[in-house]
Amino acid sequence: MPTEPPPTPWVFPSPTEVDESGLVAVGADLEPGTILAAYRHGFFPMAVESGGPIGWWSPDPRGILEPDAMHISRSLRRSIRRFEFRVDTAFDDVVDGCADPARPHGWIDDRVREAYRRLHELGWAHSVETWCGDQLVGGLYGLGIGGLFAAESKFHTMTDASKAALAALAAGIIDDHPRLIDVQWRTDHLATLGVVEISRRTYLRRLREVVQSPDSSFWLHTHAPE
């Protein structure tokens, strides 16, 4: 079971008090208790600009993936057969892959790395890894809170490796409890995988439900989707 950190001293505003970009507030800190409180309120942290202050975001609409609605194309299914999936065996390496400064729109800096490493040590942050033989070729990381998996970022060095990690995550958390994968914003790329948009109001309602679910044990049985 994850270890609950000390509570945050910060009071978050209402998630409805946002600008059109979804920015709710700027500042606070990246302590584990602050980040967990933010997610439980429907926010996530991301720098306002590269190297700039941390912003707290609640976009409307919100991009989400229902685990049982993951779309696996025939080409992705063929790729999946080449891979092996592991959880939490190379967390730092996955974060480093996601933080590669050569990637466009990079926002994962040393502050974010350290914050999520601490959450990983406490049992809240997880990596889903795609391996080809003994090589890490892709993956994603994020937070698991009850039935919510808040996917932060993904990377790949082999075609389809990050898509495959998302498919493995989705397959691993389907059970009889409410589950939801939060991807923050829907993109055309993510839409091909089954990601849809829902309103902030609907997201916050779903959030209240899923965070009350038992913690997912996906790390025990994440596997290649059928």
Q: Residue 223 pLDDT more than 60?
A: no
The reported pLDDT for the residue numbered 50 is 77
How far apart are alpha carbons 141 and 149 in whole angstroms?
9
Of 186, 170, 152, the closest CA to residue 222 belongs to: 170
The reported pLDDT for the residue numbered 211 is 94
Task: Provide mean pLDDT across the span 196-208.
Answer: 96
**Where in the chain are the domains?**
62-221
- Give the phi and the psi of residue 84 in degrees, each rounded to 5: -120, 145
Confidence of residue 84 (pLDDT cuts 50, 70, 90): very high
Of 40, 64, 42, the closest CA to residue 170 belongs to: 64
Average pLDDT, the chain: 91
Query: ω into residue 61 within 30 of 0, thus cis?
Result: yes
The reported pLDDT for the residue numbered 225 is 63
Fold of 62-221: Aminopeptidase (3.40.630)
Q: What is the pLDDT of residues 152-197, one digit of tens each?
A: 999 999 999 999 999 999 998 888 889 999 999 999 989 999 999 9
The reported pLDDT for the residue numbered 17 is 76
Of 199, 219, 212, the closest CA to residue 58 belongs to: 199
Q: Select the highest-mean-pLDDT range: 19-28, 89-98, 207-216.
A: 89-98
Judged by DSSP in three states, 40 sits in helix
Lowest mean pLDDT among 49-53, 64-68, 78-82: 49-53
How far apart are alpha carbons 67 and 174 in whole angstroms?
6
The reported pLDDT for the residue numbered 20 is 81
Q: What is the pLDDT of residues 129-153, one digit of tens each?
A: 999 999 999 999 999 999 999 999 9
